């Protein structure tokens, strides 16, 4: 069993537990549920946007803790101040050390927020809205094309946007009308190896009307410039920023 399979197996158990503990009615009654949604698409496409999706994460399965005592409020506020187009907050606790509370603390910032998690159920999308997220992530590697279409359509019905994440060419079939924003993960989620050239090749096959985002393994300005030259509008960066003593200007 690879890393992704292990995460999804655990996530299925976790979601079942959360469903039993908190009803959908209770989620819909939370203050975050009625917060106006901020558009990631608009943020990425506006003139002079940095395109940076700055990520807050304490650890990863492959690297362990990056910054165990990180303060989510301080870091996400700094990201926003330095020009991030969007915040990405890891909410998976078991593998990434995150929580819903992290995203709720980040919500004081007036820019779009991506709930970065492993979404497999509509319940998690309602959760995302209830904690103030504007965008959800759907990972093609752990969903069928039919599931992607269903979950992305459901998210849209709640006013949320979706990033569809791809990391292999055979996943191009997961793209549908409901997935306006497509992220290409430079890191293979099954091996955690990074290959930017493979991502660029995949990008050439994306429909022209999709907003392209490059994810993972970006640690220098040359990478961003290369992706921009290939039509990318967004650049998700987490580990590089989290390793810095001070939050860098974007």
Q: Give the catalytic positions in this structure.
A: 55, 57, 116, 165, 185, 215-216
137: part of which helix (H) or strand (E)?
A: strand 135-139
The three-class DSSP label of residue 2 is: coil
DSSP bridge partners of 184: 166, 214
Q: Cα separation of 56 and 15, whole Å?
A: 22
Tokens coding 95: 């593998």
- Burial classification of residue 8, based on how many CB atoms lie within 10 Å of its CB (0-12 exposed, 13-18 middle, 19 or more buried): middle
Instruction: Centre a 10 Å sphere on the Cβ of residue 198 and count the other Cβ atoms it contains.
Output: 17
Tokens coding 186: 């430079």
CA atoms within 13 A on the CB side of 78: 16
């Amino acid at each position: 069993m690879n890393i992704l399979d292990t995460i999804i197996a655990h996530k299925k158990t976790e979601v079942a537990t959360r469903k039993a503990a908190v009803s959908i009615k209770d989620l819909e009654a939370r203050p975050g549920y009625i917060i106006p949604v901020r558009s990631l698409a608009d943020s990425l496409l506006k003139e002079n946007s940095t395109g940076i999706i700055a990520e807050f994460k304490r650890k990863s399965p492959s690297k362990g803790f990056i910054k165990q005592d990180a303060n989510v409020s301080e870091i996400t506020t700094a990201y926003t101040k330095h020009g991030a187009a969007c915040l990405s907050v890891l909410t998976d606790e078991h593998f990434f050390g995150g929580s819903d509370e992290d995203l709720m603390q980040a919500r004081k910032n007036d820019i779009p927020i991506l709930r970065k998690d492993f979404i497999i159920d509509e319940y998690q999308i309602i959760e995302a809205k209830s904690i103030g997220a504007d965008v959800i992530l759907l990972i093609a590697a752990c969903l069928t094309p039919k599931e992607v279409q269903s979950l992305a359509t459901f998210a849209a019905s709640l006013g949320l946007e979706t990033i569809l994440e791809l990391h292999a060419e055979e996943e191009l079939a997961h793209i549908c009308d409901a997935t306006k924003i497509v992220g290409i993960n430079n890191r293979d989620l099954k091996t955690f190896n990074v290959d930017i050239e493979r991502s660029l090749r995949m990008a050439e096959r994306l429909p022209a009307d999709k907003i392209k985002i490059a994810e993972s393994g970006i640690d220098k300005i040359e990478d961003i410039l290369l992706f921009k030259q290939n039509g990318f509008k967004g650049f998700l960066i987490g580990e590089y920023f989290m390793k810095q003593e001070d939050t860098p200007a974007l």
